[in-house]
């Protein structure tokens, strides 16, 4: 099923897994497990609403501050996700990439990431980027360093960043901040904040967010087309 809209890049801050579990008297890891199921739902629903690039905030560089047991469980869950989903993604034309640091990940997880990226590289349906050990500020510093000795422009800096400009940014669980996620790439993104916890985020929620996105007028600092047309007509009537 093709989307009636144009193609675009959607980024999601998948928030609320731990709170979802705590509200139900469950261990926090159960919320993360349900969150992994919501990832599968979003990836499967993305092409139908026109999403060709989907970037998901899975684990930030600041998340290392969490309790060691929770971090360990999250890393195991990430490994299980890659093991279980890579082959299915390859069959469905989904390309998987991981953005962020890798030097602090285990050797086994790094190998899984590389295997998943290699297996799914031919995918053209949707490019899913998982942000793991990711910090946008650190990414910007690395991009600026890569431009050292060359002219630093918006274009040259963007070329060294791991994701394209974002069109739609969704954050779940009621929070309304970027949390060091794709700061440069979100310069002209439309934001949609929802109270829905990530484990409960459905294909219908994704469609509703994209419908809201497409209902907005994106001017990128300019004026709406109808305003420009009205102004041109007014000037012509005076000449």
Q: Pick the catalytic residue from 15, 53, 133, 205.
A: 15
| Bridge partner residues of 131 (DSSP) | 57, 99
Q: Is 15 a catalytic residue?
A: yes
Separation of alpha carbons 127 and 46, rounded Å: 10
Q: Beta-strand (E) ranges in the chain?
A: 8-13, 51-60, 94-99, 126-134, 168-171, 190-193
Query: In Å, how far are 88, 127, 195, 207 from 149, measured between CA atoms?
Result: 43, 32, 46, 45
Check if the beta carbon of residue 129 is closer than 8 Å to that of residue 99: yes
Q: Pick the catalytic residue from 62, 63, 115, 138.
A: 63
Diameter of the chain by CA atoms?
Answer: 74
Q: Is 63 a catalytic residue?
A: yes
Annotated catalytic residues are 15, 63
């Amino acid at each position: 099923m093709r989307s009636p809209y144009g193609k675009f890049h959607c980024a999601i801050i998948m928030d609320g897994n731990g709170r979802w579990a705590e509200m139900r008297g469950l261990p926090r890891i159960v919320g993360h497990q349900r969150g992994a199921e919501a990832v599968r739902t979003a990836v499967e629903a993305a092409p139908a609403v026109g999403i060709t690039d989907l970037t998901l905030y899975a684990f930030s560089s600041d998340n290392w501050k969490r309790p060691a047991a929770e971090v360990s469980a999250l890393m195991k869950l990430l490994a299980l996700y890659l093991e279980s989903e890579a082959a299915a993604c390859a069959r469905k034309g989904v390309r998987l990439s991981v953005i962020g640091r890798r030097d602090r990940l285990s050797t086994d997880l790094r190998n899984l990431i590389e295997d998943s990226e290699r297996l799914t590289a031919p995918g053209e349906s949707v490019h899913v980027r998982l942000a793991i050990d990711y910090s946008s500020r650190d990414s910007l510093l690395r991009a600026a360093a890569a431009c050292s000795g060359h002219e630093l422009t918006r274009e040259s800096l963007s070329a060294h960043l791991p994701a394209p400009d974002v069109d739609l940014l969704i954050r779940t669980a009621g929070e309304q901040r970027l949390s060091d996620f794709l700061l440069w790439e979100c310069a002209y993104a439309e934001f949609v904040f929802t109270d829905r916890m990530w484990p409960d985020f459905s294909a219908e929620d994704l469609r509703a967010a994209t419908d809201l996105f497409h209902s907005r007028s994106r001017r990128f600092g300019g004026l709406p087309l109808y305003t420009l047309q009205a102004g041109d007509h007014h000037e012509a009537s005076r000449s």
